[in-house]
Structure formats: C-alpha cells, structure tokens
Structure 1
C-alpha cells in the first residue's frame, strides 16, 4: 500500500501567517516529502472559506509538478459542478505534461451545505451529484477522443470519484472510474456498480484519506493537536450553516473524536506509527486500496510541527504499509476499460 500527504493550506486568523510564506513552505515540504519517499500529494478545493483554503488546486499542483520528479499529484477533490468539463480536461493535461504523467484527477460534488461556493460560481447544489457524474463522463470523453489538445502523457489519465458513501461508490463503479475512498465498506457497492456496467471488478481501484496524527509521543503531541483539530472541526461545522437559517452548532469536543470509530469525519487517531498502520489495515479490510493519505498538518500548526509530522509519516508509517496488499487487490492495476 502506498502512502500520500494531503494539503489545504488553511490560514486561521488565530495563527495567521504570511500567505506567500505559507504557500512557499508547502512547496518546500512537498519537495522534502518526495526526497523521503512519499508516494503522492493530494490537494483539496474550497471557496470563500474564512481562513482562505486552496481555491485553485490545479494551479498549485502545476507548481508542485515543476518542483518534483517522482511523486504522483492528485486532487482530493476538485468540486466538479463548479467547473466546465473542457476546463478540467485541459488543466489536467497541463499538469500531466508538466509532471511527465503523474497526475490524478479526483472529482467530487463538494458539500451541499457550502452554499457560498455554489453561489460564487452560479452552480446548482441540488444537482451536484448528477453534475459530478456528468463531468467525469465528459472529461473522459474529451481525453479519450482528442477533444482537447494536446493530449495527456498517460494513455488513460486516472479519474477518481470522491464519494464517501455506498450510493456514491456504486456510481463510481457504474462510471468505470476509480473510487476515492479507502473505507472497505464501500468496496462491495463499488464492485456491484462495476459489474452492473460491464467492467471487470478485478480492475477496480480505491484510495482515500484517514484522519490521523502520526507521532512517537501521542500524549505529548495531543496537547497541541487537539487545539488545531478543534479549530478544523468547528470551522467545518460552522460552514455547514452559512447561507442557511440554521443556528451555529456547538463547539466540538476533540476528545470524543479521538475515541470515536472511523466513520467519515467523526474520528481522529493520534497514535504511534505501528498503531496507525494497524488501524489502516483494518479500515481498508480486503478492499483493493492502492493508497491512503493523511493531512500533512492541521490548520495553523507551526512549520516545525508540520515538518516533523511529514518526516514521521514518510520514515516510520510508510515503510510499515509498503508490503501490505489487501487480499482482493490485484498484483497490478491495469486501467479500467
């Protein structure tokens, strides 16, 4: 199993940093992670967040492509309904060319509650899932038929569908694309979708994120991690009600998340590398999970702590998962046809 890092470059007022330095340091951190052997880099997309967030993940990955030579570069995810298919296809090709065939396009519907970003782009949140599926089909068609020029380096540029539940997993299978979820519980509906649409399930592939902090001293690090985690969770929850008449939710208790089961955003592991590796093996079960990735840092965290976390992931977690192959995963992963 491969291991990756995820970045969103949020910049909270409480720990505000020069945004130029924040972006420059993130690129430096990506270079260091590649030197230490990380397999992939993933960047997410949001708009009108109170602490900035990455609004242009494809632009950032183009910069990362120019600074790296080996790691794969992916979006987790681009909010597909906010973009035209031709734009997505052409930007994907550009990153693929700049990286010499290292780009992965992760598409998702975003979240219905983020009304400000749908309003910013004049998009319809009620059709977000349908539009996401449509974008995947349209981008695949443009890339496979020469509908945009030039073409990508990869014969079949990977498209990952960022669906976290069983209904979305099935739709990813029907599309014949990869599933951006590492949860083994989504393997069966994904497999059913592949079979229903006539795709070989042996060619299905999954990847996803886990909410974790990897450390050699969990109790010491937790004293810092919990504050930044609480901020991350509280701001996400607050964004759920922006543009609605619902009241602000109560602040979260990070201790409950640390003790919670691995269900979407309702858990967080702050553990030693061997424990995180064991948890990931259990979480992915026998599903064909190729890659799991982890937040490199939490919003507002210091550069030193982020660097130490990345070093721990690269040197202590990744080697523990390098030889792990779920029982249903093929030795090679040919493109889905």
Structure 2
C-alpha cells in the first residue's frame, strides 16, 4: 500500500499565519514528504471558507510539481461541476506536462450551495454534470480536442463518489474510485462489470482518512484535540450553509476519537503508527485500495507540529503498510 500526504492550506482566524508563509511552508512540506519516501501529495478544494481553504488545487499542484521530481500529485478532490470542461482539460494537461506525467485527477460533484452560487452553477445537476464531464475529458484528451495533450497516455481520473450508488456509477464509467472504504468495493465491482470492464484489470481505489498519527497519543491529545474539533465543526457547519438547516452542535473530540466510523465526520482515527496501521488494514481489507493519504496539517497546526506529523507518517506509518497489497486481508 502506498502512502500520501493531504494539504488543504487552512488558515483559521484563531491560529492565523501569514498566507504567503503558509503557502511557502506547504511547498517545503511537499519536498520533505518526497525526501522521506511519500508516494503522493494531494490537494483539496473549497470556496468561501473563513480559514482560506485552498480554492484552486491544480494551481497549487503546478507549484508542487516544480518543486518535486518523483512524488505523484493528486487533487482530492477538485469540484469539477464548477468549471468549464475544456478549461479543466487544459489545466490538468499543463500540470501533467510540468510534472512529467505525475498527475492524478481526483474529481467530485461538490455539495456546498454557496460554492455553486459563486460560480453560477446548478447544484441540483452536479452528479449528471460530473458524469458528462468525465466522458468529455476523455474525448478532449484522446481526440486532440485540447492541445497540448497530457504526458500520460491515459491520465488517471479518480471519482470521489460516496455510497453504494456512487461506487457503482464510478465502476460503470470504468474510472478509479476515490474512497478507501472496503464497504464500497462490492458496489464498485458490480458497476465495473455492468459497464463491461474487467475488475481484475480496471479496479483501482484510493482515498484519505481523517487521522492523526503520533508516538505519544496521550501526551499529544490536549494539544491536537482543539485542531481536530475545529476541522470537523467547520466542515459540518459549511455542509448545511445555504440549505436552511440549523448549524450542528459543536462536536466532542473525545467522543470522535473513541467512536467507530458511521459515515463522514462521525469519527476520527487517532493513535500510534501501529494502531493506525492496524485500523487501515481492517477498513481496507479485501478491496483494491492501493493508496491512502492523511492530513499533513489539521486545521492550521503550527509548523513544527505539521513537520513532525509528516515525518511520523512517512518514517513510522509508511513502513507498517508497505507489505499490505491491494485486495489483501487484514493481518
């Protein structure tokens, strides 16, 4: 199993940093992750967050491409329905060229009403739009619809579809599935078969975990817990913005840490590298999950905490998962 680092460049008001320094430091962490053996770095997207959440992941991926030479660069995810497909095809091709063929294009349908309003896009048609965009991207790249073409003959598209229906949809299109949950594998496999794709040859899964890895869980918890609480609370608050639903009550990070996952934002994986590795093996067992990634920084952590977390993931967690093959069972 391969390991990646996940960056969203959050800059919460409570812990605000100089934005230029934050972006520069994050690029340094991409270089450091590559030096320490990480297999990939991933960049996420949101718009209008109070903490300046990264809004343009392909732009940042281009900067990271210029600072690295081996590590793969992924978007996890880019909200495709907010963009014109031809522009997306060109931007992705440019990043792939700059990086020498290292781009993994993770796409999602999005969910936040204010983001669709900002881009004058139809939130009710987001899944239909994304399905059409995938086919159009393949056509534009394969038929010379945009120039220059990507370096990779078939640039990987990863679809961030959640749940049984989403997994099946990704399978029918013959694209990779951007979720690390083994529960999605039977539905994804069925979709591949329905779409005429051989699961043995076509199935690819990957995805991120809400997790923090430390050699001193009890000692670090009082320091880490406020950042985890902010991260989860802000996601939950922004999920309902524009829907008329009331904001959810603040989470209890202690409960998140102890709770088994029941869906998005329902729990937080926290523990030693050994504990986290065992849980990753369990949650991905039997599914063709080839890559998992983890937040480098949780909600704007200080630089020293972020750097230590990157080192722990790369030097302590990565070796524990190196022998876990896609489709393998939990040990």
Question: What's the TM-score once normalised by structure 2's chain length?
Answer: 0.97
Distance 1:131 1:35 in 2: 39
Q: How does 1:111-130 map to 2 (within 5 A)?
A: 111=111, 114-130=112-128
Distance 1:6 1:93 in 2: 21
TM-superposed deviation, 1:243: 2.1
- Contact 2:57/2:75 (CA < 8 Å) preserved in 1? yes
- Contact 1:104/1:159 (CA < 8 Å) preserved in 2? yes
Residues paired across the two proteins, number? 327
Distance 2:247 2:191 in 1: 38
Q: How does 1:149-298 map to 2 (within 5 A)?
A: 149-202=147-200, 203-262=202-261, 263-298=263-298
Q: Please, which runs of 5 or more residues in structure 2 have no aligned partner?
A: none
TM-superposed deviation, 1:240: 2.3
TM-superposed deviation, 1:84: 1.0
Q: 1:11 corresponds to which residue?
A: 11
The DSSP-based 3-state class of the residue aligned with 1:240 is helix
The DSSP-based 3-state class of the residue aligned with 1:226 is helix
Q: 1:103 corresponds to which residue?
A: 103
Q: Please, which runs of 5 or more residues in structure 1 have no aligned partner?
A: 330-337
- Contact 2:285/2:328 (CA < 8 Å) preserved in 1? no
Distance 2:138 2:254 in 1: 43
- Contact 2:58/2:91 (CA < 8 Å) preserved in 1? yes
Q: 1:335 corresponds to which residue?
A: none
The DSSP-based 3-state class of the residue aligned with 2:294 is strand
TM-superposed deviation, 1:328: 6.1
- Contact 2:176/2:203 (CA < 8 Å) preserved in 1? yes
The DSSP-based 3-state class of the residue aligned with 1:107 is strand
TM-superposed deviation, 1:266: 1.0
Distance 1:133 1:255 in 2: 39
- Contact 1:96/1:154 (CA < 8 Å) preserved in 2? yes
Distance 1:31 1:161 in 2: 26
Distance 2:136 2:168 in 1: 19
List structure 1 runs of 4+ shifted beyond 6 angstroms: none
Q: 1:32 corresponds to which residue?
A: 32
TM-superposed deviation, 1:244: 3.3
TM-superposed deviation, 1:87: 1.0
Distance 1:245 1:275 in 2: 40
